[in-house]
């Protein structure tokens, strides 16, 4: 890949993001000893080079980059070769640009269950949601924990010991005499109230209180999950990917009302946690297939504060091949992927001019986003290459090459920003000021709401950083008619917009990496949790 610094006077683009600077902005700090204008480096991020990269990265050759499959392996090798060609190092050393992400693909697991001598049937009465290896349990008692809630102002675990025991919980959340949920004091649904969010919250509560297994009664979710899993079992299909843990996972079953009442005959009306004398025999054998996948990592070491890290991320995977059609994922997230490569090259050119960033920058391409944010979760929760406490911010790019057809008002040259003000007031101000000074992209905060029904705040890789109290910005153009379809191809990308948005990320990263003081986290983590 060849690049030249272009004379700004002859560089003509749609909006000229990064080709001029104006205004004095209080959030932007300057180095008193040496002031470097980053516009010449930002201007090297061009629509032509982004297009050249993306036509390769989103080509049929890479077969939709499905996690763990041939196309994804070709994609990560392509990224490695690009970083080597522009002389950007790996933080792992020894020419190793791949952070191995251990995954497993589970087959549908069936259980054999008898309660007080009565057998119950898979898919009719119970389904296995989680189990590690082979499970054989014979118990004469279980612990009933009511709704299975463990919140600051209401806990079903408060006066009962569940360590090493099987717990039984039911769906829903109690309300007070005024009809308000007990955990929130209002009528708005909480993470405990119903649905998949309630399921995961109650699972986590049981695990955090030391239970070895959770049996969860939810007739509504059971009616949705059981037929789907039964169809998979009939065709011996492998289930969705998950991170492979070195530690045994807590066993989890979902049951219908029939089995729930067999375990505790007054489960529907009883809300008081207690030990229940019930004989249960349970046998599960989990079969899974190990899958290998990789995050791609490259970095530029900071010249003054190398231990402080700015992370720029995008996911490298997409949907693969379905029914013989290739899902190329040009916008999702080929656009973010090639933007990072161009941003990295701009920083490298600055470094070669002795203007390298004062803080280190990690260029992080994560795998398995489409499978549940797996690559970023592995980085943050299992194996952060740099300590999370040293991570200044995460700028995450996921779909920045198109326009949202539902966006009827506003400038075409826009980007949705999500999360910029959630953890750090300072980060939000910096983002605004950088844009005013260098780019003039219209910043749209339409989806910057944790309660937005689309839940975009929780649906891309920045969230795994945010949940660890690391300030984030998610750059996003919104969905469109080609989202998650074979028609998301490189010829449909609007390259002038991709250029301008990539330059905006570059200038924001430049400020975060070079300002005198590290940005401050001034908002509580609790407000970012789903």
138 vs 524, which has greater pLDDT?
Answer: 138
Of the pLDDT bands very low, low, confident and very high (cuts 50, 70, 90), residue 242 is confident
Residues 6+ positions from 40 with CB-CB distance below 8 Å: 5, 8
Of the pLDDT bands very low, low, confident and very high (cuts 50, 70, 90), residue 29 is low
Helix (H, G, I), strand (E, B) or coil at 135: strand
> Tokens standing for 377?
């979760």
Query: Of the ranges 73-87, 284-298, 338-352, which one carries the lowest mean pLDDT score?
Result: 284-298
d(CA 448, CA 451): 9
d(CA 306, CA 300): 9
The string of DSSP letters for 279-343 reads: EEEEEEE--EEEEEEEEEEEEE--SSEEEEEEEEEEE--B-EEETTEEE--IIIIIIHHHHHHHH
Asked if residue 40 has pLDDT above 90, the reply is: yes
**Residue 438's closest CA among 41, 48, 6, 35?**
41
Of the pLDDT bands very low, low, confident and very high (cuts 50, 70, 90), residue 23 is very low
pLDDT mean over 78-86: 98
Asked if residue 368 has pLDDT above 60, the reply is: yes
Domains along the sequence of the chain with CATH = 31-102+293-524 (3.40.630.10), 110-286 (3.50.30.30)
Asked if residue 295 has pLDDT above 70, the reply is: yes
pLDDT mean over 390-409: 97
Asked if residue 30 has pLDDT above 80, the reply is: no
Do 393 and 473 contact (CB within 8 A), yes or no?
yes
pLDDT mean over 400-405: 98
What number of residues does the chain have? Answer: 530
Asked if residue 239 has pLDDT above 80, the reply is: no
Asked if residue 156 has pLDDT above 70, the reply is: yes
**Residue 185's closest CA among 175, 196, 172, 199?**
175
Q: Which helix (H) or strand (E) holds 203?
A: helix 195-208
Asked if residue 78 has pLDDT above 70, the reply is: yes
Average pLDDT along the chain: 91
Task: Count, in order, helices (H) and strands (E) of the chain.
Answer: 11, 19
d(CA 196, CA 213): 18
Asked if residue 116 has pLDDT above 70, the reply is: yes
Residues 6+ positions from 308 with CB-CB distance below 8 Å: 302, 359, 360, 390, 392, 518
Q: How does pLDDT run across 131-149, given as a tens digit for each residue?
A: 877 889 999 999 999 999 9
Its pTM stands at 0.78
Asked if residue 298 has pLDDT above 70, the reply is: yes
Give the rounded percent of residues in the chain with a pLDDT score beyond 90.
80
Asked if residue 294 has pLDDT above 80, the reply is: yes
pLDDT value for 60: 98
The string of DSSP letters for 155-195 reads: BTTTT---TTSEEEEESS--B-TTS-BTTTSSSS--TTTSH
Q: Which helix (H) or strand (E) holds 42?
A: helix 39-42
Give the rounded percent of residues in the chain with a pLDDT score beyond 70.
91
pLDDT value for 11: 38
Of the pLDDT bands very low, low, confident and very high (cuts 50, 70, 90), residue 2 is very low
Per-residue exposure over 498-524, b if at least 16 CB sit within 10 Å of its own CB, e if not: bbbbbbbbbbbbbbbbbbeeebebeee
Q: Which helix (H) or strand (E) holds 111?
A: strand 111-115
pLDDT mean over 319-326: 97
Q: How does pLDDT run across 157-211, given as a tens digit for each residue?
A: 999 999 999 999 999 999 999 999 999 999 988 999 988 889 999 999 999 999 9
> Tokens standing for 293?
């996948």
């Amino acid at each position: 890949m060849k690049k030249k610094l272009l004379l700004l006077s002859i560089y003509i683009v749609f909006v000229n993001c990064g080709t001029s600077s104006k205004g004095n902005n209080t959030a932007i700090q300057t180095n008193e000893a040496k002031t470097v204008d980053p516009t010449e480096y930002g201007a090297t991020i061009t629509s032509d080079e982004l297009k050249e990269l993306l036509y390769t990265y989103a080509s049929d050759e890479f077969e939709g980059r499905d996690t763990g499959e041939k196309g994804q392996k070709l994609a990560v090798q392509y990224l490695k070769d690009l970083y080597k060609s522009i002389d950007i190092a790996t933080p792992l050393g020894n020419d190793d640009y791949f952070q191995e992400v251990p995954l497993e693909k589970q087959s549908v697991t069936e259980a054999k269950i008898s309660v007080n001598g009565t057998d119950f049937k898979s898919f009719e009465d119970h389904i296995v949601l989680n189990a590690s290896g082979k499970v054989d349990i014979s118990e004469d008692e279980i612990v009933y924990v009511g709704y299975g809630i463990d919140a600051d102002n209401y806990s079903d675990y408060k006066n009962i010991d569940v360590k090493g025991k099987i717990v039984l919980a039911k769906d829903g959340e109690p309300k007070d005499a005024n009809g308000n949920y007990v955990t929130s004091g209002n009528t708005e649904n909480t993470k405990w109230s119903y649905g998949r969010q309630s399921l995961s919250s109650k699972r986590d509560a049981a695990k955090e209180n030391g239970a070895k297994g959770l049996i969860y009664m939810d007739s509504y979710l059971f009616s949705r999950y059981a037929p789907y899993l039964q169809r998979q079992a009939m065709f011996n299909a492998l289930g969705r990917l998950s991170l492979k843990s070195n530690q045994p996972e807590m066993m989890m079953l979902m049951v219908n009302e029939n089995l729930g009442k067999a375990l505790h005959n007054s489960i529907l009306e009883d809300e008081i946690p207690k030990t229940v004398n019930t004989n249960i025999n349970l046998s599960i054998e989990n079969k899974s297939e190990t899958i290998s996948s990789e995050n791609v990592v490259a970095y530029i070491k900071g010249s003054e504060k190398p231990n402080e890290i700015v992370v720029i991320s995008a996911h490298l995977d997409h949907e693969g091949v379905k029914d013989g059609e290739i899902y190329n994922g040009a916008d999702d997230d080929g656009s973010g992927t090639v933007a990072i490569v161009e941003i990295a090259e701009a920083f490298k050119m600055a470094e070669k001019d002795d203007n390298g960033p004062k803080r280190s920058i990690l260029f992080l391409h994560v795998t398995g986003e489409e499978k549940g944010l797996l690559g970023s979760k592995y980085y943050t929760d299992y194996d952060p290459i740099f300590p999370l406490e040293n991570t200044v911010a995460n700028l995450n790019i996921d779909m920045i090459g198109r326009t949202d057809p539902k966006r009827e008002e506003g400038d075409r040259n826009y980007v949705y920003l999500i999360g910029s003000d959630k953890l750090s007031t300072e980060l939000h101000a910096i983002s605004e000021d950088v844009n005013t000074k260098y780019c003039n992209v219209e910043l749209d905060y339409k989806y910057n709401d944790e309660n937005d029904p689309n839940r975009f705040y929780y649906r891309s890789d920045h969230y795994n950083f945010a949940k660890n109290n690391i300030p984030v910005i998610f750059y996003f153009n919104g969905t469109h008619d080609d989202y998650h379809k074979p028609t998301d191809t490189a010829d449909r990308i609007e390259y002038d917009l991709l250029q301008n948005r990539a330059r905006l990320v570059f200038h924001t990263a430049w400020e975060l990496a070079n300002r005198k003081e590290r940005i401050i986290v001034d908002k509580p983590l609790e407000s970012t949790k789903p």
